[in-house]
Structures are given as structure tokens and as C-alpha cells.
Homo-oligomer: A and B are copies of this chain.
Amino acid sequence: MKVSVLGVGCTKFAELWDKSLHDLIAQAQFMALDDAGIAPVQIESIFVGNMLAQQFNGQAHLGAIAAQQLGINVPSVRVENACASGSSALVCGVHSILSGASNVVMVIGVEKMSDVAIAQATSALMGAGDYQAEHFVGATFPGLFAMVTRLYMQKYGLTGQNLSQQLASVSIKNHNNAVLNPLAQFNKKMTMDDYFNSPIVADPLRLLDCAPISDGAAAIIISSYDFAKKYGKNRINIIASTQATDTLDLASRCEITSFKATKIAGDKAFKIAGISRSDINVAEVHDAFSMAEIIALEDLGFFEKGRAGFETALGKTQITGELPVNTSGGLKAKGHPVGASGISQVTEIVNQLLGRCGQRQVNNPRYGLTHNIGGIGTTSVVHIFERE
């Protein structure tokens, strides 16, 4: 398979009090159109990734907003898979092209979370887990991820101090990358002291292990490879678009320090792309919690199980390292407007492959990967991009 990327756009991620859902969608849409150099009427289908607008903003039916703002009547739908909503929307968009239903598709991710109180947001986000088995009995995402982290520590014989230093190295790297990204929510360098001075949220996870509540939107325009080639726009291509699903509740799994859905989606993606792990030059992986980045890098096969934290601490995933990871700042520091996060990852990889990332630019990357999960690794979506 091969689908081309014609253009990308991404808004600033932050608490955007002066921007409505409509505004955020429009801004990302027109940035992507501008980047692609095509007109709204050329879009044949729209997919919008969003999780919480119905509950937070009283607004469902976001597909219609996106179509109306372009003044077009094409098929448009919202796709939801919790924090993987954006990437799942992209999978649907790719299928729409490969099915022959559309030549040019716009995929948008958007979330406006700052309109509600933090406690309400934390509770609503548990919609990504199992209401009956987890939310009803008081579980929260930081709490569930803390359980995963504790078990990881035990399984790999790490002391609390060792593990914390590994987690800190993830968070510090991502925050320091975000300083180089004008679209990022946070723009302050972090130190080991900052990390250890941040309050514990769910032992052993600290505030600086957790992604923030954010507003933002991102958009990507894709087309069939033939269409792109005809117009000389086949520079960046999606060469794998895969997705897998694990159980919604953690209690139903045999293993929680590794996420089966990521392994399945990752293996399938590399098989379809026909490249190996070492070919990837830059990756954006899901770091809603710093522990999640460590697990993702292992499950995707970039590092041995139990090793990704060590390697991160050694600097392997820095912008100048062997495999730069989350050069954008990641969900942790660029921000995590959940429906937008997956598409935001894609915009970073596309910009990296095109050499447009300024101070955080990786040296001449050819292959990039995005990895986005929903729930505690319940849904996992992997995309691989290639520069021709």
C-alpha cells in the first residue's frame, strides 16, 4: 500500500480560552489546505478524530462542522477510539482512499478540554477504560498506569530510584524538545531536580510523568499515490497504517507491562512497509505517561524488554541520538488534546521528513513512525512514513 501526504497543519496546543471547537477545526483545516496547495472543493471525504466534545462542549457531529467550514457536501464522519481517535481516523481515511471511494481525504484531530474542571476531565477520560470494571470502582488513568509501572519495576528488578531516573529521563527529554517547538504547550526546560520536586500523583508517578489537559487541533490531507504523483506531490508517503485492540479492562489481561495491541500493530506495520526497525530515523510514540513511552519503545521492537528506560537515560532517544523520539515534545510536553494527539504526531513526522523542524530537526530522516494508543494500550495504531 502507498498513500501520499499532501499537506499538514497543527494549531498551538495550550489552554486556548479564546478559541471554540469550530475555530480550532477551521485553523487546522486551512493550515493543511495551505500546505497542500489545494482547494477545499478537491477534498472528497473527511474524518474527524475526537473523544469528548459531546460531553465537554455539548457538540457531537463534528464531521458536519468540518464539511460546513470548507463549504462542501462530501461524506464526513467522526471517529473515536479514546486517546487514539486521531490515528484511528487516519486509518479510516487511508481505507477510504484504498477502497477507491475517495481520491483526496482530509483527516482532522481535535479536542477542547479546558472548558471543564480538571476533576471532570479526569473522570471523563476514564471513558477510555472500562466503566463497569474500572471507573465504577474509582480507578483513574494515573492510578492504572501507576500499577503498570510498579509491576514493571518488580518484573525487571529495578529500584524505585532507578526507575524514577528512567522515567525522569523520558520526561526531561520531551520537555526539552518542546522548548524547541513553538506549537508546544510547555516551553520550559526541565531538570532532574524539577522532576523529583514535582508532587506524586499516583505512586510512583509524579506530576512530571503525566501529560497535561490541552486544547488543540491538527489536520492532514492525504491522497492516492497516483493522484499525488500526477501533481508532483508524492514526496511523503504512508507505507503502513495498522491498528489492533486489546481488552478494555486491565484485569482481563495476563500481562500489563507489555501491550499486545502495540506488538500486533507494530509487527504488522513493519511487515507491510517492508522495512526493519533500524530503518526508522524518527518516531513519535504515545507518552501520555512517561512509562508509556518506555513500554511503547519496547513493544515496537526498538529496544529489548526492560531496556528502553536505560537507553533513554543514556540519551539514545534524544534528537541527536540513534533514534530520536518525540522531537515535538510528545504528548507530555507538546500537549495532549486527546482527539488531536495522533494527528499532531503525524504532522511532526511529516515535517521532520521534509526538514522543516528548525532547531529540533533530525539529521536527514527518510523513515518515520507514529504510535498512538487509546486506554491502557487497549487500542494501538501505528503508521510508517517514507520520504521518496
Kindly state whether residue A315 has any CB partner on chain B within 8 Å: no
Q: Distance (Å) between the CB of A350 and the closest chain B CB?
A: 22
- Residues of B with C-beta under 8 A to A129: 61
Contact yes or no, B76 A379, CB < 8 A: yes
Contact yes or no, A127 B81, CB < 8 A: no
Kindly state whether residue A197 has any CB partner on chain B within 8 Å: no
Contact yes or no, B73 A245, CB < 8 A: yes
Kindly state whether residue A124 has any CB partner on chain B within 8 Å: yes
A side interface size, CB within 8 A = 67
- Residues of B with C-beta under 8 A to A131: 21, 57-59
Contact yes or no, A245 B63, CB < 8 A: yes
Q: A78-B81, A244-B75 are in contact. Are A126 and B58 (CB under 8 A)?
A: yes
Q: Mark A29-65, 1 if CB is under 8 A from B, else 0.
A: 0000000000000000010000111110111110111
Q: Distance (Å) between the CB of A187 and the closest chain B CB?
A: 31
Kindly state whether residue A82 has any CB partner on chain B within 8 Å: yes
**Residue from the set A53, A95, A264 with the largest chain B CB neighbour count within 10 Å:** A95
- Residues of B with C-beta under 8 A to A130: 59, 65
Q: Which residue of B lies closest to A378 (CB)?
A: B64
Q: Distance (Å) between the CB of A125 and the closest chain B CB?
A: 9
Q: Distance (Å) between the CB of A107 and the closest chain B CB?
A: 13
Contact yes or no, A128 B81, CB < 8 A: no
Q: A68-B247, A101-B98, A245-B67 are in contact. Are A61 and B75 (CB under 8 A)?
A: no
**Residue from the set A57, A65, A100 with the largest chain B CB neighbour count within 10 Å:** A65
Contact yes or no, A51 B60, CB < 8 A: yes
- Residues of B with C-beta under 8 A to A245: 46, 63-64, 67-68, 72-76
A-B pairs with lowest CB-CB distance, top 6: A98-B99, A60-B127, A75-B243, A99-B99, A95-B99, A67-B245
15 A-B interface contacts by CB (under 8 A): A21-B131, A22-B132, A51-B54, A51-B60, A54-B80, A58-B123, A59-B131, A61-B81, A61-B374, A61-B378, A73-B260, A77-B79, A77-B91, A79-B92, A95-B96
